[in-house]
Every structure is written in C-alpha cells, then in structure tokens.
Amino acid sequence: MSSVSISDVARRAGVSRATVSRVLNGSTEALVTQGTRTLVRQAVEDLGYHPSAIARGLAGKPMNTVGIILAYELPSVTTDPFLSPVLDGILAVSKRERQKTIIFVEDNWEDAFASLPVYCDGHCDGLVLVAPCTDSQIVGALQSGRTPFVLIGDSREMPGIAVADIDNVAAARLAVGHLLAQGHRRIAALCGNRELLSSHQRLQGYTEALAEWNVPQDNSLILPGQYWEASGSERARLLMELPIGQRPTALFCQNERIAVGALEGLLSLGIRVPQEVSIIGIGDYPAMIGATPALTTVHIPLRKVGERAVEMLLSHVQQSPEREERTILTGWLIERGSTAPPVCDIS
Amino acid sequence: MSSVSISDVARRAGVSRATVSRVLNGSTEALVTQGTRTLVRQAVEDLGYHPSAIARGLAGKPMNTVGIILAYELPSVTTDPFLSPVLDGILAVSKRERQKTIIFVEDNWEDAFASLPVYCDGHCDGLVLVAPCTDSQIVGALQSGRTPFVLIGDSREMPGIAVADIDNVAAARLAVGHLLAQGHRRIAALCGNRELLSSHQRLQGYTEALAEWNVPQDNSLILPGQYWEASGSERARLLMELPIGQRPTALFCQNERIAVGALEGLLSLGIRVPQEVSIIGIGDYPAMIGATPALTTVHIPLRKVGERAVEMLLSHVQQSPEREERTILTGWLIERGSTAPPVCDIS
DNA sequence: TTGTAAGCGTTATCAC
DNA sequence: GTGATAACGCTTACAA
C-alpha cells in the first residue's frame, strides 16, 4: 500500500515535493497552475499515493484523532449501561467528523493518571475523559498541558474546563419530586459511588426536592453504596429490617442498576412493588427494560452527552471562535410501573 | 506537558541526542556508561520528558497501535450482541499488551474499502477486521499491502491470511444434532445474512447434521434472511402458515437474535414453545437471557475470539517466529427451556 | 562509550 | 507559480 512517498509523486510528475503538497492540501487554490495540478493528480493516481499521517503529524498538522479515556475494572466495557450509550455517541460523531478514535481503557484513574504521557504523546489532538474520579489528579495535570480535553460526567465548575454532562441535580429532583407528589414522605436514597461527582449531585437533588416540599430530611435514610445491582439489593434488604413505622415507603435509587438490584431485593423478601414500596431510578437503561414491574425512571440523554463531548472537543482542537465550555443536558421522567402512592403512611 | 524534546534532555544532561535515545531505548544495556546513564535519567526526570510517538513512528519504530475495523449501520455499536463481546476481548488484550486501540466504524464494507488508505496511513501497526463481508474487496487489497491484519468471522481458507473465528459448522451441527436427537425430523433453518460467511457455514452444519442422521434435507424449510429479531419473527410466522403436516416441529435459528424473534413470533400466534415447536439458536448472548422460555442455544466464545485476534495480530506485527495463522474456537450446547421432543410427528 | 550526521515523509518559509 | 531548504523529534549507522 503505502511506502510510496511524496517524493515519488514529485518525481513522476516532474515537479517538486512542495508543489505536490500544495496541490494536495489545496491551500489557496490559485497557487498552482491548472496544468501542473492535473499532472500531480495523475501521478498520485498512478502511484496510489496516500500521505502519511505520521509525517504530517510531525510537521505540525492535526492527527485527526481523538482519545477517549475511561476507567473500568470489570471485564466488559461495552455492556456497562452508562458507558455504552456514551461510547456510541462518541463513535458516531467521531465517524461523522472523520476523526479516528483511540480508546484508552484503564483499571482506575490512578493508572490513567500514570498513563497521561501516553495519551499526550502526539497521537491524539484532544482527549475526552469519561466520568473521572473527583479526586483524581488527572484533570489538574491535563490543565497544565497543551492537549485540549473535555470532561464527561464531572461537571464541577472549573474555570476554563470544558464539560459535557447531564444535569444530575435536576434529574434527582425530578425523581424524588415524583415520589413526593405521589404522597411519599419517607423516601430512602440509595447512593452511587461517592468518588463520582454524579452521586453527590444526585444526593443534592434529593435534598432540594425534600426542601421544596417541606419534608424534613432523615439522614438515616441516606445510604452510601455503589452504582451496582448487588449494592442495591443489599441496601433494600437492610432497609426492610427497620420497624414498620420507620421503613421508607419509597426508594430513590441513584441509578437504574441500583434500582434493579433493589427491586430484586424487595421481591425476594416477598415485598410487593409498588404496592408496599415504590422504586424509582435514574438512567432509563435499555438493558433494564425487562424488569417486572417496569421501572419508573428518569431518562438521561447519555448518547447525546457523548456526541456533544466530541463536538466540543473538536471545536477546541480547531480553535473555533465560538467554542462552548459547558453542555449540561436535562433528563425527563418516565412513569412506568414501579411507583405508586403509599398505602397508609401519608403522614 | 510535552513540547520538551530529546534535544532539551540532551542539552541538560550534557550529552548528544543519540545518547539520550540509547539510554531510553535501552538497546543492548552495555552501550552507555552507568554515569551518563543516570545523568540522562535525571534530566528526563527533571524536564518531565516523554518521547513523541509520532516522531519515533516516523523514524521507523512501531506505533504500538492496533486498528479495529467494523462495519455497522445501526446507531449502537456497543449493544450488538456479537460485536460487544468481541470488542471487549479486543480491548482487554490491547490494554494488557499496552497497545492503543483505534476503532474505525464504517457504515458498510464498501465504505471501509474506500477508507483503506486511512487505516494504512501509518497510524496503526496492524488491523483487525471484524466480520467482513465475503464479497468485499478489502481483504484482497489488504493482502497486496504491507500492513499486517487478522480477520475475525471470515474463516475461509486463504493461504497466508490470519483468521480468528468460531467453528460455525460445528456449532450448527451441535444445535441441529440436539434437535435430531430429540426426535425432530422437520427442522427449519432460519438463516442469517448471506453476505456473511458464518451464515453459509452454519447452513453447512445444518446439512451435515441431517446427513449424519440420514434425514433428507427439505430445501423449502431453508429460509434466507437476516441476523435480526424482526427477520426471525417474520419467518417463524410464515412457517406456521404451512399445513400442519408440512410444518416444521423445530426451528434452527442461525443466531440468537433470530431465535428471540422467532420465539416472539410463535408466541404471538399462540403457539407454545417448546410444546408445539422447539427453538434453538446460536450465540448465548447475555442480552437475550431473559427470554421466556429460556432459549436452548450453542454458546460461542466470542470474547475469546477478540482476544486471540489481537494476540495473533501482535505476533505478526512483532514478526514472532511462531505466529499462528488460524484460531478456530468451538462452542458448546446449553440446554434450556426452548427445546423438547416433538409431540406426534416422529415420522 | 559517545558524538556526528543522515534519514523518516511531511509542511512551511523563503527566494526566484 | 514553483523550487530549494529548513524544520518537526526521533532512531541509527558510521565515525571517532
């Protein structure tokens, strides 16, 4: 294939390499005669020439490559209900914009931090960090470098840092607000990984919703944990050990994996959902659509987040004048079968 | 971050760039004095130097990057039950071997063929083609180039072409053999996309199994189609329009998406599975585990195929002496609830 | 053991 | 308009 270089083309066309380059890069169309132009084109065609991305990279041109960094310890990256749509969005826009996509998978953000030099070794024009740990040093390190980057799922306000994320506070407020509107007053919060910002934001949404409805917050109903099914079922079971009066009548699960786990936990205890306890999650993950009863949830446009992240990154890379700094997308409530008004406990 | 070059390090350490390069590449450890060695190391440390991948690429060193090419027209790459485990395997091994992974997603193999120059522009040391279309010119073109490549899911015998795949013939024989052993004699074959080799191989397995049991093949029971749910339900319905005596008592679905569709189709017609009609698929896709009744299937180790593909590719890239050319992995039967002996039709 | 210099395939800055 | 020529950052003979 390649191995035919610009010099070969130049020789064949009887011109200099510079001219070939000019024809190919079409800079200011007028700089080359129509004649030599076609001459060069012909030579390119004959030889099957294609420029080396590496060489032009070295010469200062963009590599047309975006790097995606994600930390994931489990064996399957593609089936994570959060990552999966985000990746799809990223890949879709990358393709549309004719960008190559390098996927860097690390076990955790410490490893990712250690690999920073690799991400910035010239291969990529810019980076997308998917849901970095709040306490990772990576963002700071990246800031003092020259590689443009965009954060997904870490929307703290930081001056000059580009972010694409969903509005976690609003999503949680929507979910908890729905429960409150149905009459629930004892609502447990099953939180996600505390090292992820989303978890704090969703807890804040919970707090805000309660405040809005003038319902006092009972901290014993706020349970830390992980964004996983097992963590959900475990906590759901735990809550059901409470004396009946102190039991929550509804569970606000910070994502849908927790919700699925919680549902399973309750059902295994013979507790009926939503008749005895309501469950709501955040995510609307396609993989969880089969749950019975179907889970009421807040849909969050994750694919869109992935899309916007790449779009923002490219606008940074290309130094567009109107580059956006923050894209925060909002979700919407989807009522299904796992929530209902509480039976007797409208206190 | 970067922008500090090898010259800076050389200057700081008071040596030549060549020496720095020697220290860093550790070629034949003895070539540099312990003294200068530490001197250089120190300078590297102080300046936070990291070599530019593109520069060393230009200089002829490997880029430590593998390219993955897949054609996929639907919006979600990550949720395809075939692609997903393959990708996971690829990503896992890439990570383990410290290779960067570039994912090239194309709408179809014609587009992929057209993009060949991009794949081979120096970015990647080698390529993995996931399930290329049998009639795509891409394999031929790649063959006349110098970029090493491995095929996944296209195990035709081609001299000198590296392949990782599952044994489709054996998988199909396993599935159909199971139905035959249960007493089925009228077994329909719901085929997958004919432009994929797997479909032909699975049909061959069907034929072989019938022959093995001395059951004459009825070509009217062989239905072409696609590897999708809709194509499965459509054909299942069609088959049920046959007069009762000509109806198949079992459906051999060439993958599990077809099987899920077929199941749905039969149930919607009020036909009981497996009491009236048995269904078997190939795949054992995690996403389809919730079907009722649970689908009997042939598990195929797709993740492993992805893993082996990258391992093989790297052994080619690194010119290992013992490089494998073909890895064909076999699946195994998983009996679940969608197959049972036929009621009356043991002819 | 170390330095010098050529080369990898481009692009860009000059002259002409 | 076009052609030398010098970068770009690194590796690697070849000299010393």
CA A15 to C1' D3 (Å) is 8
CATH number for domain A168-300, candidates 2.40.128.20, 2.40.50.140, 1.10.760.10, 3.40.50.2300:
3.40.50.2300
Work out the minimum CA distance from B3 to partner chain A, whole angstroms.
9
Q: What is the pLDDT of residue B28?
A: 60
- Residue A33: exposure state from Cβ atoms within 10 A (0-12, 13-18, ≥19): exposed
Q: What is the pLDDT of residue B2?
A: 67
CA-nearest residue of chain B to A92? B75
Q: Which bases on strand D have an atom closer than 7 Å to a protein beta carbon?
A: 1-5, 7-13
**In CATH, what number does B6-51 get?**
1.10.260.40
CA distance linking residue B87 with residue B68, whole number of Å:
9
Q: What is the pLDDT of residue B74?
A: 80
pLDDT digits 0-9 by tens, A56-65: 999 999 999 9
Joined tokens for residue A233: 């079922």
CA A19 to C1' D4 (Å) is 12
Per-residue pLDDT averaged across B13-32, rounded? 86
pLDDT > 60? residue A345: no
Chain mean pLDDT for chain A: 94
Nearest CB to B103; choose among A52, A103, A116: A103
Per-residue pLDDT averaged across B291-296, rounded? 96
CA-nearest residue of chain B to A116? B1
- Residue A73: exposure state from Cβ atoms within 10 A (0-12, 13-18, ≥19): exposed
CA A322 to C1' C12 (Å) is 28
* Nearest alpha-carbon partner for B291 in B322, B314, B323, B267: B267
CA geometry: angle B42, B46, B49, nearest 5 deg: 95
Nearest CB to A146; choose among B3, B54, B117: B3
- If DSSP codes are grouped into helix, strand and coil, which group holds residue A222? strand
Fold that domain A65-166+302-330 belongs to in CATH: Rossmann fold (3.40.50)
Domain boundaries, chain B: 6-51, 65-166+302-330, 168-300
Q: What is the pLDDT of residue B257?
A: 98
CA distance linking residue A228 with residue A257, whole number of Å:
5
Work out the minimum CA distance from A217 to partner chain B, whole angstroms.
38
Which residues of chain A are within 8 Å of residue B115 when distances are taken between CB atoms?
none
CA B128 to C1' C16 (Å) is 50
Nearest CB to B286; choose among A79, A123, A144: A79
* Inter-chain CB proximity B65 and A104 less than 8 Å: no
Same fold, A65-166+302-330 and A168-300: yes
Q: DSSP E strands: which ranges in chain B?
A: 65-71, 100-106, 126-130, 149-152, 162-166, 187-190, 222-223, 250-253, 278-283, 296-299, 326-329, 332-334
Q: What is the pLDDT of residue A27?
A: 65
CA nearest to nucleotide D5 C1': residue: A18
Q: What is the pLDDT of residue A323?
A: 77
- Residues B274/B279/B284/B287 CA torsion (nearest 10 deg): -80
